[in-house]
Amino acid sequence: MLIHSPYPGNFIVPPATAGKRAIGVPVGGPCDPVIGVIVQHLAQNQTLIEITTPLTLQAETDTSVAIGSLPNSHLIADHPTFCLGLVHVKAGESISFQSPSAGLRAYISWKSLKADSILPKPLVANSIVSETHRATDFLALDPSLLERPNKAIRYIPTTEVLSEDWIVTPKISRIGTRLQGSTPELPSLQRSEPSIHGAIQVTPGDEILIHGPDGPTLGGYPKAGAVISADFASLAQLRPQSTIQLMPATLEEASTLRQEKRRQIETILNQITQVLHLNPFPRP
């Protein structure tokens, strides 16, 4: 498969790397763990491409590509309602993806996609593919399997509760997301402290920084709390200039919501397995 990514912003994302933060390696993996794991299941491959800007695939051999994006993302111009499923791209055919118009990130994968690093790597910008025959064999799954992002992001406060309303700034990356609002006055740290995915740092200029999966393992700004893991998917899909709420939660609530999210994902994966068993793809 040839990958043509004319703009920066797309990443090859290997599986999350657990247990290496002590030696400075962030966890990595997909920013949106829900859509990411669904696409991994569809593709039977743990490596993903995380899409935020246009990208085109050109098949050298027949390949089934797993695709996941939020409903109404218009990821594929020729199939504007398609957001979840498989596309069979025959040798010599191509499939093009647009920047998601709903949410911020989409995911694709196929069985032979490989990563040459344990850390996510940006795709090098290159020219767009010349016109080829476009893929036409689609297996669309029910968009309702993917829930819409929650505009209320829940977090566990460490000290003072943050103000509720925040504006998402354009400063978004896999390292973290900056929000603008009324920041509390917290004492400066005497030295850097360990950090995690979801950690909320209070930075100068009425901004907070919420660490992403590629965020630093140490941080020198004071922390106001940590986003609960059940809301990582919503956090990953925040778009610039949108307004969100930060809502405090307890450790007990975070644990319950995490277990509920795991059960929800297991149910979705089981449903997809049943559909694929009844509808083998590519169809003869």
- pLDDT higher at 220 or 40: 40
Q: Which of 99, 118, 103, 96 is nearest to 47 (CA)?
A: 118
Residue-level pLDDT at 135: 82
CATH number of 152-249: 2.40.100.10
Identify the pLDDT of residue 65: 96
Please tell me the predicted confidence (pLDDT) of residue 128. 65
Mean local confidence (pLDDT), 135-159: 90
CA angle 163, 100, 149 (to 5 degrees): 40
**Residue of 177 and 19 predicted with greater confidence:** 177
pLDDT on residue 79: 92
∠ CA 96-141-120 to the nearest 5 degrees?
50
Mean pLDDT of all residues belonging to the chain: 92
What is the predicted pLDDT for the residue at 97?
96
pLDDT at residue 129, rounded to an integer: 62
Give the domain ranges of the chain.
2-146+263-278, 152-249
**pLDDT reading at 284 higher than 60:** no
Mean pLDDT of 253-269: 96
Mean local confidence (pLDDT), 64-70 = 96
* C-beta separation of 155 from 228 below 8 A: yes
The average pLDDT across 97-110 equals: 96
| pLDDT number for residue 130 | 66
Confidence of residue 26 (pLDDT cuts 50, 70, 90): confident
pLDDT at position 127: 66
Report the alpha-carbon distance of residue 42 to residue 91 in Å, rounded: 20
Residues linked to residue 87 through DSSP beta bridges, in sequence order: 65, 138
Report, in angstroms and rounded to the nearest whole number, the Rg of the chain calculated over CA atoms.
19
The mean per-residue pLDDT over the stretch 122-142 comes to: 81
Residue 85 pLDDT exceeds 60: yes
H and E: helices and strands count for the chain: 3, 20
Residues 6+ apart with CB under 8 A from 60: 1, 2, 91
Summarize pLDDT for 198-238 with one digit per residue, the tens.
Answer: 999 999 888 999 999 999 988 888 999 999 999 999 999 99
pLDDT(123) > 80: yes
How far, CA to CA in Å, does 251 sit from each of 30, 157, 226? 24, 10, 11
Looking at 17-26, 59-68, 95-104, which range is the least confident one? 17-26
Mean pLDDT, to the nearest integer, of 156-183?
93
Cα angle 20-67-196, degrees, rounded to a multiple of 5: 25
